[in-house]
Structure 1
Amino acid sequence: MQVQNLAGSDQWDRVKKELRIELGEDAFSNWFGRVNHEETTGDAVRLSVPTRFLKNWIQSNYEKQLVGLWKREQVDINRIELTVRGALRPRQVKAGISPKPMTVRRISGRPGPFSSTPQFGGAAGASMIPCLADTGEEAALDFLNGAALNPKLTFDTFAEGASNSLACAAVRQMAAGHQGTLDILYIHSSTGIGKTHLLQAAALEARKTGRHVAYLSAEFFMYHLVPALRTPAFPVLRQAMRSIDLLLVDDLQFLHGKQAQDEFSKTLEMLMEAPSQIIMAADRPPEQLDTLCERMRSRVQKGEVVSIQATDYALRHDILEKRISTARRTHPGFSVPDDVADHIARYVISSARDLEGALNRLFAHNQLTKQPVTMDLAEKTLHDLVRIGEPRSIKVEDIQQVVCKHFSVTKADLLSACRARVLVRPRQIAMYIAKVMTGRSLPEIGRRFGNRDHTTVLHAVRKIEAMTKKEAAVAQEIELLKRLVHS
């Protein structure tokens, strides 16, 4: 772990806290919810965002504000550099030299939930589409090679427990290339539970056997690969995709737009005809995923569908032990007392990412101040992640915020009149939790959800209540959301 980057991440946490206060929760979530701190060098801070639109918007509207807030943390900061995660710089193909054969192609910029070192594909704002159109076949093949996988996201570093053992076993089987057992695997869970780690571990494992592996995000597929298929390189790209032995698609819930969905469906059908295996991951079950057409949803459901449940205490403790052990290899003097590890495992429950974030903070403080890690230090440093005290009054707005973050939707969407399947379930769950946790009347809750009639709220409450009795996964998800609201 890099001490400088860890210290910068700690500064970024404080800057985000000030931004949340100055902008309000909704604006902060919309524009900074998916912004990551990458590094602080000299007088510049480098942040990454998932889309070019978000980069341009922040530069135009919040750059001066960001510089001002960072100066409070580090007076010599004068610049904010924004990069787009997953943007790839095209490699130069020298005359007379054939491109490298395809091995593993990681086409994604998002770090895994158990990773301390984010990996990126190249320079900010780089676009591959003109390159493909101009240079043809060699650039097309090079384009699919992508960037390196994160070597830390392996099966050895994945913490396996009761909540993820089935998913882990299925992914291991796919990575080993056992044909005739599993051809399609669909994994779903809330964010930060380990989907990306498993997919990258599978890619790394499959590469050892010489298989052709393509790892890509749904966003990359939508914004880069689909447009590339409209260029003169189309036949070469199609042929290259037919050679894939194992396709891994992460964050499938972000695949939007009819053209992207059509192309994705065609790609899956093409791969299904070949001796290929496919692993997909999303934050919801396939029947709730509007990004797949009905025909493809049916085909996916005929494969293996596995959910990863929320982490329990034992798994969270195991994750911490693995990360502490990793840190000790490079910093033998670093240690976390058992009572501190127990405290974190018991009360940092929202995601595995927050667990590692908690450990990173303690590591940074230990390295920068030379203070030993104690319970007092942990309580001071992790106060925003660990909240223990008198029961507080639960507000409907608190519930809406937690549900929006969990399902990756905006509050505006939650309160809108839109009846898309991807919004209906989060809305109904939020209404149900509001009823059981706030004691508000049905008409009051309806007013907080876009002035809906009390009968709509009653229908949502009854439906979710029935689902929790029939489906254990739904009941566990509701309990997790309740704990997050309380935290």
Structure 2
Amino acid sequence: MTTPDQERWQKVKERLRAEVGEDVFQSWFKSMELDGLDGIATRLSVPTRFLKSWIQSHYIDRVLACWQQEMPEIQKVEVTVRSAVIRTVPPKVKAPEVSDTVRDGRMQRLDIGDLRAAYAPVSSGHDALGGSPLDLRLTFESFVVGRSNTLAHAAAKQVAVARRGEPVMFNPLYIHSGVGLGKTHLLQAITWAGNQGAERKVLYLTAEKFMYGFVSALRTQTALAFKEALRGIDVLVIDDLQFLQGKATQGEFCHTLNALIDAGRQVVIAADRAPTDLESLDDRVRSRLAGGLVVEMGGLGEELRLEILKTRVSAARQYHPAFDVPPPVLAYIAKSVTHNGRDLEGAVNRLLAHNKLTGQPVTMEMAEREVRDLIRPQEPKRVKIEDIQRIVARQYNVSRADLLSSRRTANVVRPRQVAMYLAKTLTLRSLPEIGRRFGGRDHTTVLHAVRKIEGLVGNDAMLADEIEVLKRQLQE
């Protein structure tokens, strides 16, 4: 007999399924069970430590939000592992590098790290090489190609279809863009495609997982095995490189990068900015990254946003055939929700949740209400120091090389100071980084230039007008 608490849990699961999509729900939440409700807390359990860790790191806020929609008094979600018994892999099961598991008729690929986490604890150094979890939805088939991502998609596809022993065309392949524009999608698509055959070993790691693996290997004195295992990979895929911290970790990453590239192995990297803008990275790493193919993925245009929405609605309809979004509603969302692809997916999930839980059809009025908080002010264009140098040089009829040189003539010093001032006011770069980008100057030189221009702008109307013109050109 179903209890009231279990009925609430079923409703929460339906909300969660609508929020994250069927594939993610099946991968991470299907085995989650309700252990009990205790005042303002709910206790949930999963069968493995790996699932507990992943849910707590990536989905706990969503789980709590779904509970609060059903029971507003819930303030906390506790996730535990159902059994404390250490389970071992049955003798007949060998430890494969990759395992295919059929789940509800869909093939899911789990790496060795997933299997080990699910069965028994092993040495930290080896665990770290299991790779970061993959989202079943992030494949080349589900990636929507548009003008802003055509080159990145083509380069990623080229890497994915290459065969062992063939000359590596782009190495490293470095993809950068703002948040939610498709970097992770392409990297995981490369990994899925590469692992479909047994010919190449493709390992997907976030920078955080790489750091964890290296530090754990040092702690457990398995650093040599860690290094050898990493360098035995055919295709190493690193996501969110901007989060790579620590001198020792960056040194090991640099050695691994060099070893793989020199051995003709493929490296693919994604970050939220170009290699030259990664201030925290060692100069050697930045130089090696910049020596490959660097591709920027631009913002999503309205036409591409509309295509992404159509694709997401079509995918949702596979599991919810009655879900229908009228074309005018799709057009409204494509025009209004401009920030990134994740907001578009969130908009579709909200419409689906409302439609499924209330039984009401999707209308324009409902869409306007549901996506109101996703309509954000347009962000200003991200200004690059290279653009500042180019536009300032053109404005003052000098060359970019002049700005970076040691020349001290008046016709060069003033434009250089203006460019440094604009770099400080229009970018998030630090004074030392700006100095480095202007011919290796000291940060005190940059500070002097900034203060000099700030002092002149208040008294020189012509200079103030020139700077305003430059700012408009840079932000157009």
Report the TM-score range of the alignment, normalised by the length of the smaller protein: 0.5 to 0.7
Shift of 1:320: 0.4
1:277-426 equivalences in 2 (<5 Å): 277-386=266-375
Distance 2:324 2:229 in 1: 48
AA at the equivalent of 1:257: G
User: CA 1:169–1:8 in structure 2 vs 1: closer, same or farther (change >3 Å)?
Assistant: same
**Structure 1 ranges of 4+ moved more than 6 A:** 9-12, 37-40, 66-70, 95-99, 457-465
User: CA 1:236–1:465 in structure 2 vs 1: closer, same or farther (change >3 Å)?
Assistant: farther
2:123 paired residue number: 132
2:77 paired residue number: 80
Pick one of 426, 429, 433 that aligns with 1:428: 426
Pick one of 126, 130, 139 that aligns with 1:154: 139
Structure 2: gaps of 5 or more residues: 1-9, 21-28, 45-52, 101-110, 383-421, 430-449, 458-462
Shift of 1:95: 9.8
User: CA 1:206–1:467 in structure 2 vs 1: closer, same or farther (change >3 Å)?
Assistant: farther
Give SS of 1:371's match. Answer: coil
AA at the equivalent of 1:194: G
Deviations 1:439-487 (A, max 9, x none): xxxxxxxxxxxxx969459799988975985xxxxx6xx56xxxxxxxx
Distance 2:283 2:99 in 1: 30
Give SS of 1:236's match. Answer: helix
1:224 paired residue number: 213
Distance 2:273 2:264 in 1: 27
Give SS of 2:372's match. Answer: coil
Contact in 1 for aligned 2:241/2:270 (Cα 8 Å): yes
Distance 2:182 2:145 in 1: 10
User: CA 1:103–1:96 in structure 2 vs 1: closer, same or farther (change >3 Å)?
Assistant: closer
2:15 paired residue number: 7
Contact in 1 for aligned 2:177/2:298 (Cα 8 Å): yes
**For this pair of structures, how many residues does the alignment match?**
358
AA at the equivalent of 1:369: T
Larger Rg: 2
2:252 paired residue number: 263
Shift of 1:275: 2.4
2:176 paired residue number: 188
Distance 1:316 1:224 in 2: 37
1:445 paired residue number: none
Distance 2:354 2:286 in 1: 48
TM-score by length of 1: 0.61
Give SS of 2:313's match. Answer: helix
Distance 2:114 2:346 in 1: 25
Distance 1:462 1:11 in 2: 50
1:209 paired residue number: 197
Query: What percent of counterpart residues are identical?
Result: 38
Give SS of 1:215's match. Answer: strand
Give SS of 2:267's match. Answer: strand
User: CA 1:76–1:241 in structure 2 vs 1: closer, same or farther (change >3 Å)?
Assistant: same
User: CA 1:260–1:72 in structure 2 vs 1: closer, same or farther (change >3 Å)?
Assistant: same
Q: Is 1:163 the equivalent of 2:152? A: no
User: CA 1:376–1:454 in structure 2 vs 1: closer, same or farther (change >3 Å)?
Assistant: farther
2:160 paired residue number: 175
Shift of 1:381: 1.2
1:447-462 equivalences in 2 (<5 Å): 455=453
Distance 1:324 1:162 in 2: 21
Shift of 1:6: 6.8
Contact in 1 for aligned 2:174/2:268 (Cα 8 Å): yes
User: CA 1:98–1:363 in structure 2 vs 1: closer, same or farther (change >3 Å)?
Assistant: closer
Deviations 1:146-170 (A, max 9, x none): 4652221100000110000000000
Structure 1: gaps of 5 or more residues: 13-36, 47-51, 84-88, 106-118, 134-139, 389-393, 404-423, 432-451, 470-474, 480-487
Distance 2:466 2:295 in 1: 26
Contact in 1 for aligned 2:132/2:204 (Cα 8 Å): no
Contact in 2 for aligned 1:189/1:195 (Cα 8 Å): yes
TM-score by length of 2: 0.62
Distance 1:305 1:285 in 2: 8
CA RMSD of aligned residues (A): 4.8
Contact in 1 for aligned 2:214/2:249 (Cα 8 Å): no
Distance 2:329 2:278 in 1: 40
User: CA 1:45–1:74 in structure 2 vs 1: closer, same or farther (change >3 Å)?
Assistant: farther
**Stretch moving more, 153-162 or 272-281:** 272-281
Shift of 1:384: 1.1
Contact in 2 for aligned 1:188/1:281 (Cα 8 Å): yes
